[in-house]
Structure 1
Amino acid sequence: MPQRPSAPALRVAVVATTAAAAAALSVLPAATAAPAGTPAPAPAATVTRDVAPAATVLPTQAPHPAAVATTAAARAAAPAAQAAAARSSALATAMAQLGKPYRWGATGPSAFDCSGLVSYAYGKAGKDLPRTSRAQAQVGTKVAKSALKPGDLVFFYSPVSHVGIYIGGGRIVHASTSGQPVKISDIDRMPFNSARRI
Structure 2
Amino acid sequence: MRKKNWIRKVVAIATALVLAGSVVPFSAPVSAKADTSQAPSTKGASFGAKVIATGDKYLGTPYKWGAKVGDTDTFDCSSFTKYVYGKNGVELPRGARKQGEEGKKVTRANLQKGDLVFFKLKRTNGKIGHVGIYAGDGKVLHTWGRGGVRYDKMTNAWLDWGFLYGTRVTPK
Provide TM-score, normalisation by structure 2. Answer: 0.64
Contact 2:142–2:151 (CA under 8 A) maintained in structure 1 = yes
Structure 1 position 140 matched with structure 2 position 111 = no
Q: Percent identity, aligned pairs only?
A: 38
- Aligned-residue RMSD, C-alpha: 1.8
Residue correspondence of structure 1 range 79-158 to structure 2 within 5 A:
82-106=43-67, 107=69, 108-157=71-120, 158=126
Three-state SS of the structure 2 residue aligned to 1:121 is helix
Q: Which residue of 2 aligns with 1:185?
A: 152
Contact 1:155–1:192 (CA under 8 A) maintained in structure 2 = yes
Q: Which has the higher strand share?
A: 2
Gaps of 5+ in 2: 1-36, 121-125
1:137-159 deviation line (CA, Å, top 9, x unaligned)? 11011111011111011100121
Structure 1 position 173 matched with structure 2 position 141 = yes
Contact 2:48–2:112 (CA under 8 A) maintained in structure 1 = no
Contact 1:167–1:173 (CA under 8 A) maintained in structure 2 = yes
How many Å separate the matches in 2 of 1:185 and 1:143? 20
Give the aligned length.
119
Gaps of 5+ in 1: 1-75
How many Å separate the matches in 1 of 2:45 and 2:93? 19
How many Å separate the matches in 2 of 1:86 and 1:105? 27
Answer with 1 or 2: which has the greater Rg: 1
Three-state SS of the structure 2 residue aligned to 1:91 is helix
How many Å separate the matches in 1 of 2:103 and 2:46? 15
By how many angstroms is 1:188 displaced? 2.5
1:70-125 deviation line (CA, Å, top 9, x unaligned)? xxxxxx9xxx6555443322221111110010011223311100011100000000
| Higher-RCO chain (CA-CA 8 Å, sequence separation at least 6) | 2
Contact 1:123–1:129 (CA under 8 A) maintained in structure 2 = yes
Three-state SS of the structure 2 residue aligned to 1:131 is coil
How many Å separate the matches in 2 of 1:175 and 1:185? 10
Provide TM-score, normalisation by structure 1. Answer: 0.56
Q: Per the alignment, do residues 124 and 105 of structure 1 end up closer, same or farther by CA in structure 2, a change over 3 Å counting? A: same
Q: Which residue of 2 aligns with 1:197?
A: 168
